[in-house]
Amino acid sequence: MGLYINGACAISARETHFGDFPGDKGTDNGLWLKTTTPDFKQFIEAKSARRLSRIIKMGVVSSLLAMNEADAAMPDAIIAGTAYGCMSDTKKFLKAMIENDGKFLNPTPFIYSTHNTLSSQVALQLKCKGYNQTYSQNSVSFESALIDGQMLLTEEGFNTVLTGGIDEMTDNLYTITKRLGLWRRLGEGVQPGEGAAFFILESQQTPSSLARILDVATLHGAKTETEIENWIREIIRKHHLELNSLDLCLLGKNGDRTYDDVYHHLETGLLNNSVCAAYKHICGEYPTSSSFACWLAAKILKKQIIPNGLHQQRSASTPINNVLIYHQHRNREHGLILLQSC
């Protein structure tokens, strides 16, 4: 029994939602990479679409497209990872509360402000009465969701799990995070971003399988380069792999000199036999961007092609069998996903 990605969809700033590799240039609004979305009306009834904020629509539609690709009718579980949750409804309610002094408040934005709005709206659209869960642990929100899905699929009654990572950038969030200095240290070519990537995970391989997830793990708190190396080494060994069998490593580099050193250390040391590449300059920097990296890795393993433009130092030889994703946020949260071709 394994853990297979049998369908996936990423809504990003690179027109990836119908499964194509990222386009050359991202759509940005001058400040951040803003997603190019499919026509929501084709997927969501106009009546509910009007009520739902953009993040919910992105989540619902990417979920539906992932299900289509896997030909999955009804998941047994829906698990979302989101760091910021529903910022626009939260702000809408806060604003009304402040401006109206709490009188005559419309409860609708409050109702839609909770972090689990997305997973429950997907459940409502599908009439899915199964397990429903939402993780919100900054940059490892998506990994937390994956770990949950990985465990569920080994239990009785869970055959199909819908899971993903999603975050939306809003004007307010941009202004606040900019003032907090989050974007000041981004390197050349990396912009703030947003996106939604959802996956159908199943324990059985099917003709639509994109890749197999061998492992997912997270670590908390500051780690030395050696601790990170040992962690990666241990996980590789656990799956009876050699370091040089990692054909591609997608690293969460964002050009921040203070925190990118660990990636350079890995590239020139532990991972120097692999092709190391980056993804945040493609999808933008946002907390659940590793879900985009996971989508990219799954597509690469399926198509057996590494697209250009991932800042890879050299080209990989085929077949591409194993892909490692590693990222850290300010040496505080570390996430790792190991994928294999199938």
Partner 1 sequence: MTNRVFVTGLGLITAIGNSVSETLTSLKASESGLPNLTPFETDIENSPPVCRIDLTNGELQKRLGINPAKEISRTALLGLVAAKEAVQATKLKGNDLESCGLISANSVGGMDRSENFYPEFLDNPKKGKLRQVIGHTCAFSTNLIADQLGLKSMVTTISTACSSSANAIMFGSRLIRHGKVDRVIAGGCDALTRFTVNGFGALKILDNERCKPFDEKRAGLNLGEGAGYLVLESETSAMSGNRKPICEVTGFANTCDAFHQTASSPEGEGSFLAMQQALNMAGLTPSNVDYINAHGTGTRNNDLSEGIAISRLFAPDHPPVSSTKPFTGHTLGAAGGIEAVLSCLSIRNNLVYPNLCRQHPMPELDFEPVRTLKSDRETHHVVSNSFGFGGNDSTLVFSRY
268 membership: H or E segment, kind and range: helix 257-268
Return left, alpha or beta for 261; rule: phi > 0 is left, psi -120 to 50 is alpha, else beta. alpha
Determine the Cα–Cα distance for residues 21 and 330; give it in Å rounded to an integer: 29
User: Cβ closer to partner 1: 97 or 316?
Assistant: 97
Among 21, 84, 286, 326, binds partner 1 (CB under 8 A): 84
Cβ 215 to partner 1, closest distance in Å? 11
In the shown chain, the binding pattern of residues 97 to 116 toward partner 1, with x for contact by CB under 8 A and - for none, equals xxx-xxx-xxx--xxxxxxx
Q: Does 245 participate in binding partner 1 (rule CB under 8 A)?
A: no
CA distances from 254 to 142, 183, 203, 210, 299 (A): 18, 10, 34, 27, 22
Q: Does 159 participate in binding partner 1 (rule CB under 8 A)?
A: no
Among 123, 190, 235, 250, binds partner 1 (CB under 8 A): 123
- Name the residue with tokens 């702000």: 91
Q: Does 305 participate in binding partner 1 (rule CB under 8 A)?
A: no
User: Cβ closer to partner 1: 78 or 211?
Assistant: 78
Q: Does 326 participate in binding partner 1 (rule CB under 8 A)?
A: no
Please give the radius of gyration of the chain, using alpha carbons only, rounded to the nearest integer.
19
Q: Does 322 participate in binding partner 1 (rule CB under 8 A)?
A: no
Determine the Cα–Cα distance for residues 332 and 219; give it in Å rounded to an integer: 8
Q: What are phi and psi of 45, to 5 degrees?
A: -55, 140
Binding site residues, partner 1, CB under 8 A? 78, 83-85, 90, 93-95, 97-99, 101-103, 105-107, 110-117, 119-121, 123-124, 126-138, 140-141, 144, 147-148, 151, 154, 172, 175-176, 179-180, 218-221, 332-333
